[in-house]
């Protein structure tokens, strides 16, 4: 997609609905922090920012309607680390549907969140993957069925750029 924020927005807006609850790292890239603080409550989504480096804080914040746990590790800008495997286990045992990791600061060289139990991984390609600060991009990694369900909404509807449309079984590139 067009940017890291387009990737984050695709997951937050595409996977959460009014009445759902989000538990999220209380230290995030500022765009993510402001989006969840200012916009999600307007859409009826409850948000609990917690220190995800402390699994006990996450466990205490989870409720029956918690649909997503969002971990940013290392967290921008303080480089705080969270234990993806421990939090993923905890979340799944509590019935949380989506465990999301913003792994931008780690890059896929340092951390592979899917192998640690994440359902979705977000990267801002604008940062280390692009490497030069001269191009923007974002990526959402996950199961094919989940991404297929998200694709039209995230790209066409949310403006994350057009990628591929299928019209009556015929693939149309835009």
Ligand X SMILES: *Cc1c(COP(=O)(O)O)cnc(C)c1O
Which residues lie near ligand X (CB under 6 A)? 3-5, 8, 29, 31-32, 72, 76, 102, 104-105, 124, 126-127, 136, 138
C-alpha 22, offset from chain centre: 11
Q: How far is the CB of 6 from ligand X (least distance, A)?
A: 7
**Toward ligand X, which CB reaches closer, 48 or 124?**
124
Q: How far is the CB of 7 from ligand X (least distance, A)?
A: 8
**Toward ligand X, which CB reaches closer, 138 or 142?**
138
**Toward ligand X, which CB reaches closer, 19 or 159?**
159
- In whole angstroms, how far apart are CA 23 and each of 41, 50, 62, 117, 172? 13, 7, 7, 17, 38
Q: How far is the CB of 34 from ligand X (least distance, A)?
A: 11
Q: Which structure tokens are listed for 77?
A: 């800008």
Residues in the chain: 174
Q: How far is the CB of 4 from ligand X (least distance, A)?
A: 2
**Toward ligand X, which CB reaches closer, 94 or 114?**
114
Residue nearest to ligand X (CB): 4
Helix (H) or strand (E) holding 133: none
How many Å apart are CA 28 and CA 73, to the nearest integer? Answer: 9
Q: Is 105 helix (H, G, I), strand (E, B) or coil?
A: coil
**Toward ligand X, which CB reaches closer, 92 or 127?**
127
Contact between 71 and 100 (Cβ < 8 Å):
yes
Instruction: Quickly tell me which residue has 């220190």 as its tokens.
Output: 51
Q: How far is the CB of 10 from ligand X (least distance, A)?
A: 12
Among residues 72, 76, 31, the alpha carbon closest in space to that of 50 is found at: 72
């Amino acid at each position: 997609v067009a940017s890291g924020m387009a990737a984050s927005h695709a997951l937050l807006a595409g996977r959460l609905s009014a009445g759902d609850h989000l538990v999220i790292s209380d230290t995030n890239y500022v765009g993510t922090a402001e989006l969840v603080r200012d916009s999600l409550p307007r859409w009826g989504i409850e948000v609990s920012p917690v220190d995800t480096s402390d699994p006990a804080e996450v466990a205490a914040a989870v409720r029956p309607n918690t649909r997503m746990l969002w971990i940013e590790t290392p967290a921008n800008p303080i480089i705080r680390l969270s234990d993806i495997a421990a939090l993923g286990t905890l979340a799944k045992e509590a019935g949380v549907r989506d465990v999301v990791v913003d792994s931008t600061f780690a890059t896929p060289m340092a951390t592979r969140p899917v192998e640690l139990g994440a359902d979705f991984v977000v990267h801002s390609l604008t940062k280390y993957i692009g490497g030069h600060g001269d191009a923007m991009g974002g990526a959402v990694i996950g199961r094919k069925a989940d991404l297929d369900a998200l694709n039209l909404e995230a790209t066409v509807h949310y403006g994350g750029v057009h990628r591929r449309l299928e019209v009556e079984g015929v693939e149309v590139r835009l």
